[in-house]
Chain A
């Protein structure tokens, strides 16, 4: 079946690193995505990783993929208060749709 799981909450101090974890089920997913949603807004694409990669770095963001364990993580370096939001990971089973997790609410304290 298709299922994506994330922890619901994460709280960090400004300047620390944040690590948001995700597990997925569909091993045929070609891409795995991270989206950010601020209150009252739509989903903003943050980054994605192709399934044959195990790491991707994009400025303060690092994505790690463990395909064997179907585990995806997003690390945000030097977390700022503006990073406070809900972060969704998504897998892409065949058929063209995204399967989202429940989202992790990141709270950044000054």
Chain B
């Protein structure tokens, strides 16, 4: 069974440019998460989807970050415009049970560098 797929793996952009990350969760997993991992830190939740509904986006900086999961499967996370402080690893995870923190499986992440 394929794991969580993310692309691109690496992205280098200049500040003020837009950037988008894509995630395909494990087949059949209804819940999808986007986490931000700064260097030397543990991941922090940005947004959680149950099917196509964003049920927790309290930590998402909505002035520049947006996310969507239109058909309840793939998801895209966008930053516009990117700032230097957005350089980090963006991790996607999925789990099979909604409503509680069931076992989450992570993708390899997208490492963003903003110059």
Binding site for B on A (CB under 8 A): 4, 30-31, 33, 35, 40-45, 48, 88, 90, 92-98, 100-103
* Residue numbers in B under 8 Å from A102 (CB-CB): 40-42
In the bound complex, how far is the Cα of B31 from the Cα of A83, in angstroms? 30
Interface size on B, residues (CB 8 A): 27
Please report which residues of chain B, range 17-45, place their CB below 8 angstroms from some CB of chain A when the two chains form the complex. Answer: 31, 33, 40-45
CB–CB A100/B44 < 8 A: yes
In the bound complex, how far is the Cα of B107 from the Cα of A4, in angstroms? 22
Binding site for A on B (CB under 8 A): 4, 6, 31, 33, 40-45, 48, 55-56, 91, 93, 98-101, 103-109, 111
CB–CB B43/A100 < 8 A: yes
Given the interface pairs A31-B101, A42-B108, A43-B106, the reply to whether A100 lies near B42 with Cβ below 8 Å is: yes
Q: How far is the CB of B25 from chain A (nearest CB, A)?
A: 13
CB–CB B33/A45 < 8 A: no
In the bound complex, how far is the Cα of B45 from the Cα of A43, in angstroms? 14
* Residue numbers in A under 8 Å from B103 (CB-CB): 31, 33, 45, 48
- Of the A-B pairs whose beta carbons lie under 8 Å apart in the complex, a sample of 21, sorted by A's number, is A30-B100, A30-B101, A41-B109, A42-B6, A42-B106, A42-B107, A42-B109, A45-B103, A45-B105, A45-B106, A88-B42, A92-B100, A96-B31, A96-B98, A96-B99, A96-B101, A98-B101, A100-B44, A102-B40, A102-B41, A103-B41
